[in-house]
Amino acid sequence: MSKQTQASGFTTYRRLLRYALPYRWAFVVSFIGFAIFAATQAAFAGLMELLLNALDNLPIPAYLQKWWVFSDTLPPWQILLPLLAVSIFMIRGIGSFLGTFFIEKVAQGLIHDLRVDLFNKITVLKSSDLDAENSGHTVSKITFNTQQVTAAATNAVKVLIREGLTVIGLLSYLIWQDWQLTLTFLVVGPILAVIVSVVSKMFRRYSTRIQESAGDITHVTTEAVQGFRIVRAFGGIPRERKRFNEASANNAAQNLKLAFSRAISTPVMQVIVAMAIGGVIFLILSPETAGNSSAASLMAYMTAVSLLPKPIRQLSEVNADLQKGIAAGDSIFSVLDQEEETHTDQPEALNLSGSIQVKDLSFSYNNTETVLSDINFTVQPGKVLALVGRSGSGKSTITNLLLRFYEGWQGKIEIDGKSITDFSLDALRSQIALVNQNVVLFNDTIANNIAYGELENHSRDAIIAAAKKANAWDFIQEQSEGLDTNIGEGGLMLSGGQRQRIAIARALLKDAPILILDEATSALDNESEKLIQDALSHAMENRTTIVVAHRLSTIIDADEILVMDAGKVIEQGTHQSLLDQDGYYSQLVKSSEA
């Protein structure tokens, strides 16, 4: 593994552990618990020496007298050794409980904070970054990748501390018993370090691929489930099954590669450790060593040596979880390090009249193809501006820029004579109500979908009034629980027209000075459209309104109409004046009537 990769891994893991700082008291308790657990391992080896001394009828060592506080004299071996054995395992159990429970408390707190930070970050990412990111991969980072971090923060840390302290404790005991003999065992340390380094690189590489393939699975599944009607109607079931099979097969293949690396690394390390143990046994049985030590001390030494392979094996196996967590941490921090929407500490946009002025506006996504070029218009307070044109002409881009969903335009966009960049994002958006073509409803009640977000404190009467204005109250009353009816994910329990009217009611409840209707009546049948147009005509009173529409019948009464094509305004005027020009708009009207 390169030094740069190692440094990156250490940096990521150290950054993950910073999330544990609020829970450091629990970490300290856990560390103490695992230290107690590790100490009992060495104590068990010492118990074996005492057992052999008892079998040889040797006297009880004097150091035990110092620890015995129950009487002036020690009990006989027959009573003392069982008491010591039970005590060791009781202390071991207490240490194991403290270590395991409190490290889990640290880990769950860490993961919760990390997951919340990740979700909070996603809610304020730049729109361009969200557009570019695959939604399935984004969801996978919150679900699957954080689970990988959980394994690294719980299993990995638990094993690293518990088994690491166990190895340190046993080695300390071995050095105390015979430091020269222990040096033979430590010779294998550098060899094990090289193996861990090589295997860690493989683990990290395969873990990254596993996380990417898990994102592909989430993406394919989400598309197939959300679009199941189209999938079935167009005979797409075989195609979606093939896509899912390929994504799942790739995930399985990457997991198998990781399992292979994991399966081969542990036995290799165990063989090397076994060779070191064999060398120790060879030296113990040599006349020089055997003649200088008692059988009891040699047995205690070998007991401690025999206890070493298990923690060493667990330390080698946990490396996979550790590398998974680091790879997942890299993907999570790549999101947390992205730029957010540009926020400014500007005055709140209160009591705006709603006048809008756009001067020499040009814009391109990611500095590539220009989608708006030299746009100019003014909307006086309370007036209606309509944007018409073929798909892709730039109509919705204008409304997106007005809401500052995107940055980096050239020219000026002003509200009440002030640049929209002079307002904070929250203040700006609080003055604009939006209803777009792709209605977004949540798996909640009708009331909570109307009074959503900053509108949640509105009264029941205000919600009902907005529903009535949007011509939604009649069908709401027909629902099983009225306003308290849950409408399912995406509002699937409602028809398309009903969903659209809920969205319009939400915008009406906001009662902002500026209203944007982006294809707001596209999902309505003719009868509903007439009712909604009547409701909206009242809602538009004393409110600046921008209407993006394909249905030209919905914008006949607009105060001004901008006709757009290829990101430019090619005609401008009222409905009648544009008909009199007999230009592009007139052709659109004639084709729609036909």
- For the stretch 65-100, pLDDT in tens is 666 655 556 566 667 777 778 888 888 888 888 888
The answer to whether 516 and 434 have CB atoms below 8 angstroms apart is yes
Instruction: Supply the pLDDT for residue 287.
Output: 61
d(C-alpha 185, C-alpha 173), whole Å: 13
79-83: long-range contacts at Cβ-Cβ below 8 A with a sequence spacing of 24 or more? 81/47, 81/50, 81/51, 81/54
pLDDT averaged over every residue in the chain: 77
Q: 567: which residues sit within 8 A by CB, 6+ positions away? A: 370, 371, 372, 373, 393, 394, 397
d(C-alpha 195, C-alpha 316), whole Å: 9
- The answer to which of 186-190, 276-280, 374-378 has the lowest mean pLDDT is 186-190
d(C-alpha 146, C-alpha 39), whole Å: 33
3-336 belongs to which CATH class?
Answer: mainly alpha
- For the stretch 306-361, pLDDT in tens is 777 777 777 776 777 777 777 788 888 888 888 877 666 555 656 788 889 989 98
- What are the strands of the beta sheet with 432-435, ordered from one edge? 432-435, 514-518, 544-548, 384-389, 560-565, 568-573
**Torsion over CA of 232, 238, 242 and 245, rounded to 10 degrees?**
80
CA angle at 542 for the pair 483 and 383, rounded to the nearest 5°: 115
d(C-alpha 472, C-alpha 503), whole Å: 10
Q: 335: which residues sit within 8 A by CB, 6+ positions away? A: 118, 121, 122, 125, 138, 141
Domains 3-336 and 356-593 share a fold: no
**Residue 247: which region, alpha, beta or left (left: phi > 0; alpha: psi -120 to 50)?**
alpha
Of 27-31, 79-83, 253-257, 362-366, which has the strongest mean pLDDT? 27-31
356-593 belongs to which CATH class?
Answer: alpha beta
Q: Which burial class, exposed, middle or buried, applies to 207 when counting CB atoms under 10 A from its CB (0-12, 13-18, 19+)?
A: buried
Q: Can you tell me the mean pLDDT for 138-160?
A: 74
Q: 501: which residues sit within 8 A by CB, 6+ positions away? A: 470, 471, 472, 475, 524, 528, 532
Q: Are strands 356-364 and 432-435 parallel, antiparallel or unpaired?
A: unpaired
Residue 292: pLDDT band (50, 70, 90) is low
Instruction: Supply the pLDDT for residue 7.
Output: 44
Q: Measured between alpha carbons, how far is residue 293 from residues 184, 284, 300 in Å? A: 17, 9, 11
Instruction: Supply the pLDDT for residue 389.
Output: 83
- Give the domain ranges of the chain: 3-336, 356-593
DSSP H or E run through 243: helix 237-284
d(C-alpha 162, C-alpha 164), whole Å: 6
The single-letter code of the amino acid at 154 is: T
pTM recorded for the entire structure: 0.71
The answer to whether 257 and 203 have CB atoms below 8 angstroms apart is no
Q: Give DSSP secondary structure letters for 396-432.
A: HHHHHHHTTSS---EEEEEETTEEGGGS-HHHHHHTE
Q: For tokens 């990748």, what's the residue?
A: 145
Residue 594: pLDDT band (50, 70, 90) is very low
